[in-house]
Amino acid sequence: MTSDSIPAKFKPYTRQTISQSPQWALLPEELREAVQVVSRVMPFRTNQYVMDELIDWTNVPDDPIYRLTFPHQDMLSASDYTNLKELVLVKKDEAAIEEAVRHIRLSMNPHPAGQLTHNVPFMDGQPVRGLQHKYKETVLFFPSAGQTCHAYCTFCFRWPQFVGMDDLKFDARESNELVAYLKLHPEVTDVLITGGDPLIMNTRSLAGYIEPLLVPELSHIQNIRIGTKSVAYWPQRFVTDKDSDDLLRLFEKVVAAGKNLAIMGHYNHPAELRTPIAQRAVKRIVSSGATLRMQAPLIRHINEDPKGWAELWTTGVRLGAIPYYMFVERDTGPSHYFQLPLARAYEIFQAAYQSVSGLARTVRGPSMSAFPGKVVVDGIVTIAGEKVFALQLLQARNPDWVRRPFYAKFDPGATWLHDLVPAFGEKKFFFEADHHDAPRKTLQLVARQTGRYVPGSSEEPSRAVAAEA
């Protein structure tokens, strides 16, 4: 398809409508079956731009964007897939399907790293709906109108937002509580508006969430971030959508108010930045005065090639974007299908990092967004005859933990922090304690010492506020 015929009107496809796409007939029966079965468990949504411009249909199922957006049989265990296939395609028993699906979902660690138990803040003794506050400086806000995407990634760690698990969903219908909470927390400098994808909203709706953050009473808010995949899956949002100019004017308004507007662009593969319209989108974002930072997890089957990462970062820098993070695939959802050993992740990162210029070396990784914070693998070294992972926390629940080196025994099969054990005969890592609730207890101590509510401590909010007063 030529650039002149790139879709200008957004057309999504779901499990119910994917058979209407012209590409559906290109898929063999076993791949169509996998989509129909696995999409009962994991979210599935794509669009005409992704299918026409980003997927190479002559290379399916190995095409990386196909693997990124279409469900696969191996995302479920063999027994779960066989059982669900029988229910979906033969028995067609919706009640039994719903029960089986919920059982599978709950076994997939739907909210890792304490998102429900430790990241939800309190105000007036009640949890604040649609907010997470894990790190002192940064609050995450989930507007209810932004809880979908232009297309879903098969690896997405926020998959419970999209599959009807309302008891596990983060969303806020308005920004009143966010503003009230921020007024009580002058230590917060950054608000990350996330989802889903906030840029699924029209500009008027988005402005309703952003403009209240520009009032003088919130002068301590220096950075407003928007997490989005639209830069890759629907770059028309910034170029040809009917309100794309309004969106850029909203960006300019935020910048004019003295804030840094950071678009946190999720790019998983260099193919997403090769199309002319995707590159025009970057140029338009940057021209508004906003910054665009590039981030993505390292995912098996999709972006294991260091040359691809180097191309992505180099192209982004040339267009004015800033390489930010290479993440490790989180331990949630079908992580068994997508995860890579930490040793391999480090090798890929190092190979990509050493092949780009200094301007692209703003990127950090490979980084695990684990319970204590963002744990980065700095290297694999031998110290006093012992082969170890060199690690540090780039961000942490307790600020005193940040940039403090620590070491774990080298394990070629480890894929996540919980697989690692301390090196040099140590019994625990420095951020752990002797009792099972160590992280919470540590944060409670910080809350008492500072007189301020610390995210994840569950220290009585009213006590912290009273101490502050």
pLDDT in tens, 230-245: 999 999 999 999 999 9
The predicted pLDDT at position 196 comes to 87
Question: What are the b/e assignments for 108-117, b being 16+ CB within 10 Å?
Answer: bebbbbbbbe
What 3-state class would DSSP assign to 329?
A: coil
- Region of 364 on the Ramachandran plot (φ > 0 left; ψ -120 to 50 alpha; else beta): beta
| Residue 196 preceded by cis peptide, ω within 30 | yes
| Domain contains 467 | yes
| Domain contains 94 | yes
The predicted pLDDT at position 465 comes to 28
The predicted pLDDT at position 263 comes to 98
Residue that terminates a domain, selected from 56, 80, 106: 106
Give tens-digit pLDDT for 276-306: 999 999 999 999 999 999 999 999 999 999 9
| Domain contains 50 | yes
Which residue range is the domain that position 78 belongs to? 3-106
Residue that terminates a domain, selected from 51, 79, 106: 106
Give tens-digit pLDDT for 101-148: 989 888 887 766 455 557 888 888 888 888 999 999 999 999 988 888
Give tens-digit pLDDT for 335-352: 889 999 999 999 999 999
- Region of 458 on the Ramachandran plot (φ > 0 left; ψ -120 to 50 alpha; else beta): left
The predicted pLDDT at position 253 comes to 98
DSSP code for 406: E
- Mean pLDDT for 368-392 is 97
What 3-state class would DSSP assign to 384?
A: coil
| Domain contains 333 | no
Residue that terminates a domain, selected from 47, 72, 106: 106
Give tens-digit pLDDT for 57-82: 999 999 999 999 999 999 999 999 99
- Mean pLDDT for 87-99 is 92
Place of tokens 């982004």: 316
| Domain contains 228 | no
Number of domains in the chain: 2
HSE (side-chain half, CA atoms, 13 Å) at 448? 7
| Domain contains 117 | no
218: pLDDT strictly greater than 90? yes
